[in-house]
Amino acid sequence: MKFMKQLAIIMVISFIAEIMEVLIPLPIAASVYGLVLMLIGLVTKIIPLEKVEGAADFLIEIMPILFVPPTVSLIANVEALKQMLVPLFVISIVTTVLIMAVTGRVTQGIMRHDGKNRDSIGQKEEQQ
């Protein structure tokens, strides 16, 4: 029963996100609205992590299964994709490298910022 409640919370947030997609005239997918709503709920503690953790872990575990239908669809339409193979390949490589670079830079920035904060806290403690 606990699992059903956790899944219901996630589904309600997804439903609200779908409504937001219809009501807000921006080109943003409902899944993005849902992720933002969930993030806000978790950060503000409106939704305690324990209330969704089990269902979220389950959904992450079964995620590979969710990629089977799109993969089968791609294989079924391979003839249509042959025309776009080179552009898709180039786009995939360029965006992957770009995402890796940006993620690395952001991570380095966060680590530097966190290190400076720890150093300044240590110095303040030594002064006292």
3-class SS string, the chain: CHHHHHHHHHHHHHHHHHHHHHHCCCCCCHHHHHHHHHHHHHHCCCCCHHHCHHHHHHHHHCHHHHCHHHHHHHHHCHHHHHCCHHHHHHHHHHHHHHHHHHHHHHHHHHHHHHHHHHHHHHHHHHHC
- Give the contacts of 81 (CB within 8 A, at least 6 positions apart): 74, 88
Q: What pLDDT shows up at residue 121?
A: 59
Instruction: Please name the residues in contact with 38: beta carbons below 8 A apart, sequence gap of 6 or more.
Output: 10, 13, 47, 52
pLDDT of residue 88: 87
Instruction: Return d(Cα 110, Cα 104) in angstroms, integer.
Output: 10
80-120 pLDDT, tens digit each: 888 888 898 899 999 999 999 999 999 999 898 877 766 66
User: Of 45, 44, 59, nearest to 6 (Cα)?
Assistant: 59
* pTM, to two decimals: 0.61
User: For 54-68, what is the mean pLDDT?
Assistant: 92
Given a cut of 90, whether residue 122 has pLDDT beyond it is no
Average pLDDT of the residues in 50-72: 92
pLDDT above 70 covers a percentage of the chain that reads 91
pLDDT given at position 118: 66
Res 123: pLDDT? 60
pLDDT of residue 78: 85
Cα 124 to Cα 128: distance, rounded to the nearest angstrom: 7
Average pLDDT of 9-25? 96
Q: Residue 4's pLDDT is what?
A: 94
* Mean pLDDT computed over 73-85: 86
